[in-house]
């Protein structure tokens, strides 16, 4: 019998890549999982069919949609915020609306989701935000806005860890490096460049990220909070 049997878990952004791996892992552990998706209907349906998780259409860029989705779940044991946006470009030319959307999805969504989830959690709940190693290191041009959002998540998690600590609710950030997904394939045009920065010269796997998330959600991580957990093959070493 798994520790997660019957636990109620919400994954914000769970239809593809890392999010889908997290949904799959928690479902396999016996948890009651719901996940959100924005527009990937087919992918969401596939994940729901394979895992038994409940798919909920909700745009992470919409604050009201985020808070309503979290609130509608009732009492949560674990919240994972995986939804993210990344649009590279020269900051002198990148559309300001694109930058604001990255802020909405990468910063505002996890903040409001975490606060709303804490309203519905018993003592000892878990909040895990998927950040990025680029919150610590940005070794190439064109991603200043993205790096800014991922650095902001670090401060957010440290602050919320203090706020929710008296209730034993932990708040942690998982910071992946290059992970083999549809949006960042291991054989993509930037792979060789990214591998050149890394100690382990390959893309990570989504299930490797899911394994770390499950650890942080479990009983052995009850004393771990306000921390950044980098899993990047030495990208930032």
Quote the pLDDT of residue 190. 85
Look at residues 196, 39, 204, 43 and name the one whose alpha carbon lies nearest to residue 132: 204
pTM of the model: 0.96
Catalytic residue among 3, 111, 146, 215: 146
Give per-residue pLDDT as tens, 18-63.
Answer: 999 999 999 999 999 999 999 889 999 999 999 999 999 999 999 9
pLDDT tops 80 at residue 1: no
| Number of independent structural domains in the chain | 1
221 falls within a domain: yes
Give per-residue pLDDT as tens, 184-221.
Answer: 889 888 899 889 999 999 999 999 999 999 999 999 99
25 - beta bridge partners? none
235 falls within a domain: no
- C-beta of residue 120 within 8 angstroms of C-beta of residue 75: yes
**What is the C-alpha end-to-end distance of the chain, expressed in Å?**
38
Give per-residue pLDDT as tens, 48-106.
Answer: 999 999 999 999 999 999 999 999 999 999 999 999 999 999 999 999 999 999 999 99
Look at residues 102, 123, 20, 18 and name the one whose alpha carbon lies nearest to residue 60: 102
146 tagged catalytic: yes
What CATH number does the domain containing 177 carry? 3.40.50.720
Provide the domain limits for residue 37: 8-225
- C-beta of residue 47 within 8 angstroms of C-beta of residue 53: yes
């Amino acid at each position: 019998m798994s520790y997660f049997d019957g636990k109620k878990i919400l994954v914000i952004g769970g239809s593809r890549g890392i999010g889908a791996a997290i949904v799959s892992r928690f479902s396999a552990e016996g948890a009651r999982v719901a996940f959100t998706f924005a527009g990937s209907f087919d992918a969401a349906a596939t994940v729901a069919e394979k895992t038994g998780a409940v798919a909920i259409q909700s745009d992470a860029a919409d604050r009201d949609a985020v808070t309503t989705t979290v609130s509608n779940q009732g009492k949560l044991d674990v919240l994972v915020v995986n939804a993210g946006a990344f649009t590279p470009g020269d900051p002198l030319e990148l559309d300001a609306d694109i930058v604001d959307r990255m802020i909405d999805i990468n910063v505002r969504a996890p903040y409001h989701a975490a606060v709303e989830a804490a309203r519905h959690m018993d003592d000892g709940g878990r909040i895990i935000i998927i950040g990025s190693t680029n919150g610590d290191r940005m070794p190439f041009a064109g991603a200043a806005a993205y790096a800014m959002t991922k650095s902001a998540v670090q401060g957010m998690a440290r602050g919320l860890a203090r706020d929710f600590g008296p209730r034993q609710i932990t708040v942690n950030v998982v910071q992946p490096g290059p992970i083999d997904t549809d949006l960042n394939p291991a054989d993509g045009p930037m792979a060789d460049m990214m591998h050149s920065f890394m100690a382990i010269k390959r893309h990570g796997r989504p299930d490797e990220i899911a394994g770390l998330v499950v650890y942080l959600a479990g009983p052995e991580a009850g004393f771990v909070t306000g921390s950044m957990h980098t899993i990047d093959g030495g990208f930032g070493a």
